[in-house]
Amino acid sequence: MPLLEFLKPKNNKKQKVLLLGSGALSIGQAGEFDYSGSQAVKALQEEGLEVIVINPNIASVQTNKGENKKVYLYPITPFWVEKIIKIEKPAAIISSFGGQTSLNCVIELHKSGVLDKYGVKVLGTPPASLEISEDRELFANKMEEIGISIAPSFAVNSVDEALKKAQQIGYPVIIRSAFALGGLGSGLANNPDELQNLSSSALTNTPQILIEKSLYGWKEIEYETMRDKTGNTITICNMENFDPMGIHTGDSIVIAPCQTINNVENNMMRDAAIKIAHSIGIVGECNVQFALNPQEYAFYVIEINARLSRSSALASKATGYPIAYIAAKIVVGFDLLELKNPVTATTSAFYEPSLDYVTLKIPRWDLNKFTGVSKLLGTQMKSVGEVMAIGRNFCGVLQKAVRMVNENEDGITAKIFRNATDDALQKELISPTNLRLFAIYESFRRSKTIEDIAQKTKIDSWFLSHIRSIAESEKELLEFFSCPQKMPSVSKSDVKKAVERISKEYLRRLKYMGFSDFQITKIFLEAFCGTDFKMSVKEIRALSLAVRNARKKLKVLPVVKRIDTTSSEYPTKSNYLYLTYEGICDDIAVKKKNNSIITLGSGSYRIGSSIEFDWCSVMASAYFKSKKNDSVIINCNPETVSTDFSASDRLYFEELSFERVLDIIDIENPLGVIACMGGQNPNNLIAPLSEAKVNILGHSQKSVEDAEDRGKFSAMLDKLGIDQPAWTAATSRQEIDNFIQKNGFPALIRPSFVLSGTLMNVANDKQSLDYFLSLTKDISADFPVVISKFIQDAKEIECDGVAKNGEVILSLISEHIENAGVHSGDATMAFPAQKIYGQTVNVIKTIVRKIVKGLNLNGPFNIQFIAKDNDVKVIECNARASRSFPFISKVSGINLADISCKVMNNEKIGKILLDESEIPFVGVKASMFSFQRLDGADPVSGVEMASTGEVGCLGKTFNAALLLSMESTQIKKPKKGILLSTGREKDKVKFMSVIDNVYKLKVPVYATSGTAKYLQDRGYEVNTVHWSSSNESPKAVDAIIDGKVDLIINIKKSFEMDEFQNNAHIRKTAVKRGCSILTNLEKAIAYFRAYDSYEELQKSDECISL
């Protein structure tokens, strides 16, 4: 029996194993840990273990209730983990499936002796080995011992020391901090000044930093290794960064397997990776990163991660080898030879997958969502998600991946730099932002040479030559379509005629080069009408069907290939699939009488659409699996559970584009397609798919359109007599002024075209209105500005529910802690609602019924309201599953996703009435922000969403749940001091209701001058600090920099620019220094009020579990 002795059942009772998650999604630690954690849970349950999961990430699949599983939605800190250990008495704890958070926590629990005290064993790589992997000096010593080179690097504890060592190594140098994830607090310094700045900032967060030789321009290569307790070791996959050293691997485009290295290089690094795993004593998975000299056979090892990681998740999806699942088996005692490769089911798990395709990962950045953030890429990760494309050549996967990640069908041919000067292009090549790929493409369109681009970007010419090929192909096709006289308009038959001129062979070649039908159509339009043709995506998409039809006629069709880990050496029944034009036959044969249901996933995680939609997709797939349908998933996000091939009967790891979804529908001939569970991305496909006669389950195309079209929805509300904030879609400045005149400030401005992104803003006066409008291109019928009355001091309320044929099956009401004005994705939410008048609830429920009827909804929905003194207005209605579905489902105990599926499956289902008072606890969902990684971003929450993740915690009381959710999102009890700026006069008054709780924390209180005076006048002792623009000192920012405060309450006074900038300086400094920060009055008040329950919560020996 391979199971470790102490994990075997005792007296017929299962042993418990504690598995720590990674908490809320943040930059550097995202959905990949839901994937690895849920695989681990499955692997452990199969071995007869009871799994105790601690993770406040309520939207994750791993925190689903299950048999032989208990879920604690608590902060992953030694304090809470110890409490749960006391309750559960687990035999062992696993550190490696919850990212750096989990690893750090386990190391701490080990060091403090807690694990020994309760007799909890650490499974997998032992703590002593973990320390070697985490402490750079110990690691460096170990590497020296086994003769593997590491880049010259020194650990220093002070700025002076840093400067000295940098002199020794030579500039440029890299600064890194120990015990940090995602390259937090790291950067490149070209001179002593830059080093001084970077190191002093980094040293405030960590006692020790590293000064390293810069390897800018070297190739960055990773190996995923797996080692069992007997020492058998394999490397599962190697991966090569398209972007060379200098850009964080999380922000790099990554290809797997490596493409530009030869056998000698591969094996010298592979040997090193295995040697390192042996020497450190890894048990389980370990990621090893190398820098490879592009000019000679030489390399350095950069670092290792003795745990599952983003890269291991990517490697699992790239190879099909379920790394986390196998790693979990290994840590409980199996050796690799005792396990089978789950993909083949017949061959050994001691196996290095062979691929007969390539995969390309492209990160997703949402930098436009953050005001003021630097878009430059460097050693600090900034991306919030990623996609992976699978194909059989580089041009094809690159084009596919670019389309996937930007959710538009333009792909790399998007004209982002079309009007840029050569100088601007060059700048982008040398100092890359998230858009460099497009600059490279444009450079090749301008016939720049590979050598030139290679010299500027340090990107391997092999990659560049392929990008040039795509650019050449585009030019060639433009030439092919060229028409002597530009036409003013175009019809479907024009496209048809033009496309029919393309030979079968040429069309094949275009598809092989990765051009979508949409791109081909667009290139035709450019040739036919000139570069300035104005046509909506919808229109181009409709025209592109002519290309599709021509393709089908010529039988230029993609084929389905399997990912099987063996390159077909062994026959497999793998259900992990992709489509390619490089092939002549399908690997699978779908039954003629198919009963498949396709669930469209959510694509890349991004701000506004994240793990919660993956949860919904996974639930939908599981539901139809349980109904004996062939449950099919289409998704392209490697960080997800939905792209675990065991989550469906068939997984198409593919683009969620109109063209590709139709391709798969042609192959699958499904009973129906679910587009309402994956968030807005698949929701946008409902219209074109419906028009293509695809059976969309759930809401009709009309319902979705009526809900989404602002004009239609508003008209319906008017007709139903439902109130809404005043709004208009202004097509001129005059119309805007008229609106303001009638409705007054503040007003919410939503331009349809913004140079720097898609920012919404609240204008409070003419000055700010002018400023925000100056950011828009022009105001016209084509680019209207939506302007609406911004209602201050109102509550925001949401209703999640499911409808069937226009009748409400279930509706559940939750409330925001923050007043209206904070994006619902950033807001803190309580369920069941705590502070809503009964009257308001009745009004809302009545409105919900009316809207559901009016739109004739038939599936999941979410409606948002604002309420001020029982006066309820509707803001919007989403005719799809919402962000809060997992939260509401887990707190209420009613799975909204399952009920939605019942409706979509047309099952008989009656009204579900829930007595919310029967729910034995309160749930608070709070948002996680990643501002610390976003240099220059102002960490204020507003109408534009900025959070990267969320948690949901349960408490006996609202206060307890709130405290837990705040702690889980890094709002920590202050130890040094509190800095207050409590906003407007009436805000100050409100804040006084909790002022005693502030002082009860027994730390010094600082306040900016207005707030300080207000407090002093009322007899409170307070240290006065000043705005940066003031002549007086001390300054507020200095109190932060000097480490006198670690909790900052910064409530904006108005929306005025001057006040805004001063406070922004305080907020940005606070974030940089790792302080907890609250910028919303209601949230701050709720937080301090919650301290009423602090003692009780800390002392209680009970914890709530699911």
Partner 1 sequence: MAKEAQKLRKERKKARLELSNGIVLEGFLIGADVSTSGEMVFNTGMLGYSEAMTDPSYLGQILTFSFCLIGNYGVPAYKDGDFFMSLGHESSSIKTQGIIVSDIFDGFYHHNSTISLEDWMKSQNVPGIAGIDTRFLVQTIRENGGLFGKIVPQGAKSPRIDRFDFLKNFSNAQYADPSKYNLMPSVSIKEVKHFGKAGKAVAVIDCGVKWNIIRMLLQKGCRVELLPWDSDFSKVQCDGWLISNGPGDPANTGGLVERIKKGVLPQNKPILGICLGHQLLALASGSATKRLNHGHRSHNQPVYSLPQKSAYMTSQNHRYAVDKNSIAKGWRLWFVNANDDSVEGLIHKSKPFMSVQFHPEASSGPNDTGWIMDNFISLL
Q: Which residues bind partner 1 (CB under 8 A)?
A: 230-232, 234, 257-264, 266-267, 270-271, 274, 294-297, 336-337, 346-348, 350-358, 392-395, 450, 460-462, 465-466, 468-469, 472-473, 476, 509, 512-513, 559, 561, 566-571, 582-585, 587
CB of 402 to partner 1, least distance (A): 17
3-class state of residue 655 by DSSP: coil
Residue type for 967, please?
Answer: E
Neighbours of 1069 (CB within 10 A): 20
Q: How far is the CB of 765 from partner 1 (least distance, A)?
A: 56
How far apart are the C-alpha atoms of 771 and 578, rounded to whole Å?
48
Separation CA 810–CA 894 (nearest Å): 10
Cis peptide before 746 (omega within 30 of 0): yes
DSSP annotation of 26: B
Q: What values do phi and psi take at 6, rounded to 5?
A: -75, -5
* Distance between CA atoms of residues 63 and 612, nearest Å: 12
Helix 461-481 vs helix 504-512: crossing angle, to nearest 10: 140
Q: Report helix, strand or coil for 721.
A: coil
**DSSP structure class, residue 806:** T
Give the residue with the Cβ less far from partner 1, 524 or 790. 524
Give the chain's length.
Answer: 1106
* CA–CA dist 573, 443 (Å, integer): 44
Q: Please, which residue, 163 or 590, has the CB nearer to partner 1?
A: 590
**Least distance to partner 1, CB of residue 1041, Å:** 47
CA distance 202 to 209: 7
CB of 227 to partner 1, least distance (A): 11
From CA 482, how far away is CA 412, in angstroms rounded? 21
Give the burial class of 731: count Cβ atoms within 10 A of its Cβ; 0-12 exposed, 13-18 middle, 19 or more buried: middle
Burial category of 426 from C-beta neighbours within 10 Å (exposed 0-12, middle 13-18, buried 19 and up)? middle
502-530 burial: b if 16+ Cβ within 10 Å, else e: beeeebbbbbbbbbbbbbbbbbbbbbbbe
Contact (Cβ atoms closer than 8 angstroms) between residue 696 and residue 661? no
Quick one: tokens of 417? 């730099």
Q: How far is the CB of 752 from partner 1 (least distance, A)?
A: 37
With respect to partner 1, which residue has the nearer C-beta, 527 or 836?
527
For partner 1, which is the closer residue by CB, 332 or 510?
Answer: 510
Strands 727-730 and 795-804: unpaired
- Work out how close the CB of 354 gets to partner 1 at its nearest, in angstroms, rounded to a whole number: 4
**CB-nearer residue toward partner 1: 476 or 539:** 476
According to the 3-state scheme, what is the secondary structure of 35-73?
Answer: HHHHHHHHHHHHCCCEEEEECCCCCCHHHCCECCEEEEC
Q: 709: Cβ–Cβ under 8 A, 6 or more apart, which residues?
A: none
Q: Which residue has the tokens 């004996």?
A: 628
Nearer to partner 1, 209 or 579 (CB): 579
CB of 390 to partner 1, least distance (A): 11
User: Toward partner 1, which CB reaches closer, 587 or 1038?
Assistant: 587
In angstroms, give the least distance from the CB of 238 to partner 1. Answer: 9
Dist CA 1052 CA 940 (whole Å): 9
Residue 347 CB, nearest distance to partner 1 (Å)? 4
Q: How far is the CB of 429 from partner 1 (least distance, A)?
A: 18
* Minimum separation from the CB atom of position 463 to partner 1 (A): 10
Which of 567, 993 has the CB closer to partner 1? 567
Residue 130 CB, shortest distance to partner 1, in Å, is 24
Q: Which amino acid is located at 933 in the chain?
A: R
Could you tell me what percentage of the chain is helix, strand and coil, using 3-state DSSP and rounding each to the nearest 5? 40, 20, 40
Q: Minimum Å distance from CB 318 to partner 1? A: 12
Tell the smallest beta-carbon distance from residue 261 to partner 1 (Å): 7
C-alpha–C-alpha distance, residues 30 and 1017, integer Å = 47
Residue nearer to partner 1 on the CB measure, 469 or 1009: 469
CB of 216 or CB of 506, closer to partner 1: 506
Q: Read off the tokens for 1091.
A: 């301290």
Give the Cα separation of 32 and 100 in Å (integer).
12
Closer to partner 1 at the Cβ: 240 or 987?
240
Please say which residue, 392 or 853, places its beta carbon nearer to partner 1. 392
Residue with Cβ nearer partner 1 (260 or 752) = 260
User: Using N-to-C axis directions, what is the helix angle for 99-111 and 78-88, rounded to 10°?
Assistant: 70
Closest approach of Cβ 465 to partner 1, in Å?
4
Nearest distance from C-beta of residue 664 to partner 1, angstroms: 19
Q: Please give the Cα distance from 672 to 670 (Å, whole number).
A: 5
Q: How far is the CB of 823 from partner 1 (least distance, A)?
A: 44
Residue with smaller CB distance to partner 1, 255 or 381: 255
Which structure tokens are listed for 580?
């390619």
DSSP, res 348 = B
| CB closer to partner 1, 513 vs 689 | 513
**CA atoms lying within 13 Å on the CB side of residue 359:** 28
Q: How many helices, marked H, and strands, marked E, lie in the chain?
A: 39, 39
- CA 924 from centroid of its chain's CA atoms: 21
Q: Closer to partner 1 at the Cβ: 83 or 317?
A: 317
Which residue's entry shows tokens 């593919």?
Answer: 654
Alpha-carbon distance of 65 to 53, in angstroms, equals 10
* Element (DSSP H or E) covering residue 201: helix 192-205
Which residue number, 225 or 969, has a Cβ lying nearer to partner 1?
225
From the CB of 1085, what's the least distance to partner 1, in Å? 59
What is the distance between the alpha carbons of residues 866 and 874, in angstroms, rounded to a whole number? 6
User: In terms of CB distance, is 459 or 1036 closer to partner 1?
Assistant: 459
Q: Which helix (H) or strand (E) holds 302?
A: strand 299-305
